[in-house]
């Protein structure tokens, strides 16, 4: 069996990859008349409009886009939510998420194995700071990168190039670890390596290059990565 070469930097997506969105599902469901099944529609609408914003050469904080998406999904279900109330729901929800149960053990294992761990998130700088404080993840990471600095959301190639430059590494020396097919696809097309964490309801994009790691949780990914030389 071929021994894989270690990536120099592991870049982690945050929402859903590291943090459990179950509490968010309850908050969004409550805002939408008790319909928690609308969470995936809200999340994909938020992602869609983050790309619309970036493709138009503009920037709005991810939480504000999430609030606008909530207003849109609500309106389609004959529910009116003000901008102020929507932002309160989304920002309080995103900033109080716990880590998935296996995450801290996996991160500890990777740190002990000598990996450099960096968060790479569409959330704002303030948002990811509060998320990591709430979830107790700060001590595991060497750096936290928010796309707020480059003002262009993942999965734009420019954003992955910027992140690699920030760590002074080549694209092929980077690995994204994410639970979203769009994030993995974007990183692969930017010349990065990738590990896909197949959280429930998540799939890789069939038209993207194949990931070298595809497992159901972060601990299984860590077990594979520590075997790399």
99-158 residue pLDDT tens? 999 999 999 999 999 999 999 999 999 999 999 999 999 999 999 999 999 999 999 999
Q: What is the mean predicted confidence (pLDDT) over 181-207?
A: 97
Nearest by Cα to 63 from 97, 89, 26, 33: 89
CA 49, 103, 126 angle in degrees (round to 5)?
45
User: pLDDT at position 36, please?
Assistant: 85
Site of tokens 């503009």: 58
Candidates 1.10.150.240, 1.10.1740.10, 3.40.50.1000, 2.60.120.260; CATH matching 22-94: 1.10.150.240
In angstroms, the CA 157 to CA 152 distance is: 9
| 206 exposure class (CB count in 10 Å sphere: 0-12, 13-18, 19+) | exposed
In angstroms, the CA 99 to CA 132 distance is: 9
User: pLDDT at position 144, please?
Assistant: 97
Q: What is the mean predicted confidence (pLDDT) over 178-185?
A: 98
In angstroms, the CA 180 to CA 13 distance is: 9
Nearest by Cα to 222 from 2, 15, 17: 17
pLDDT band at 2 (very low <50, low <70, confident <90, very high): low
Q: What is the mean predicted confidence (pLDDT) over 64-71?
A: 96
pLDDT tens for 12-36 read 999 999 999 988 888 889 999 998 8
Domain ranges (residues) in the chain: 9-20+98-225, 22-94
Q: What is the mean predicted confidence (pLDDT) over 217-225?
A: 98
CB 27 within 8 A of CB 73: no
User: pLDDT at position 210, please?
Assistant: 96
- Given a cut of 80, whether residue 84 has pLDDT beyond it is yes
- Given a cut of 70, whether residue 45 has pLDDT beyond it is yes
Average pLDDT, the chain: 95
User: pLDDT at position 87, please?
Assistant: 96
In angstroms, the CA 113 to CA 115 distance is: 6
pLDDT band at 172 (very low <50, low <70, confident <90, very high): very high
Q: What is the mean predicted confidence (pLDDT) over 68-81?
A: 96
Indicate the CATH number for domain 9-20+98-225: 3.40.50.1000
- Given a cut of 60, whether residue 1 has pLDDT beyond it is no
- Given a cut of 90, whether residue 162 has pLDDT beyond it is yes
CA 160, 163, 169, 173 dihedral sign is negative
User: pLDDT at position 37, please?
Assistant: 86
Share of residues in the chain with pLDDT > 70 (%): 99
């Amino acid at each position: 069996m071929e021994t894989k070469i270690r990536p120099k930097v592991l870049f982690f997506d945050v929402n859903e990859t590291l943090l459990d969105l179950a509490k968010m599902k309850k908050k969004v469901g409550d805002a939408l008349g008790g319909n928690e099944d609308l969470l995936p529609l809200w999340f994909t609408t938020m992602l869609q409009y983050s790309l619309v914003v970036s493709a138009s050469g503009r920037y709005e904080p991810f939480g504000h886009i999430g609030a606008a998406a909530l207003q849109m999904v609500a309106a389609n279900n004959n529910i009116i939510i003000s901008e102020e109330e929507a932002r309160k729901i989304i920002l309080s929800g995103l900033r109080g998420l716990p880590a998935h149960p296996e995450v801290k053990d996996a991160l500890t294992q990777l740190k002990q194995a000598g990996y450099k761990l960096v968060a790479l998130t569409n959330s704002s700088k303030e948002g990811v700071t509060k998320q990591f404080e709430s979830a107790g993840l700060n001590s595991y990471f060497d750096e936290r990168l928010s796309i707020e600095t480059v003002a262009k959301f993942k999965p734009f190639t420019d954003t992955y190039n910027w992140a690699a430059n920030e760590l002074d590494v080549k694209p092929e020396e980077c690995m994204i670890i994410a639970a979203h097919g769009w994030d993995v696809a974007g990183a692969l097309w930017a010349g990065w390596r990738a590990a896909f964490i197949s959280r429930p309801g998540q799939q890789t994009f069939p038209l993207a290059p194949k990931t070298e790691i595809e497992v159901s949780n972060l601990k299984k990914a860590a077990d594979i990565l520590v075997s790399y030389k």
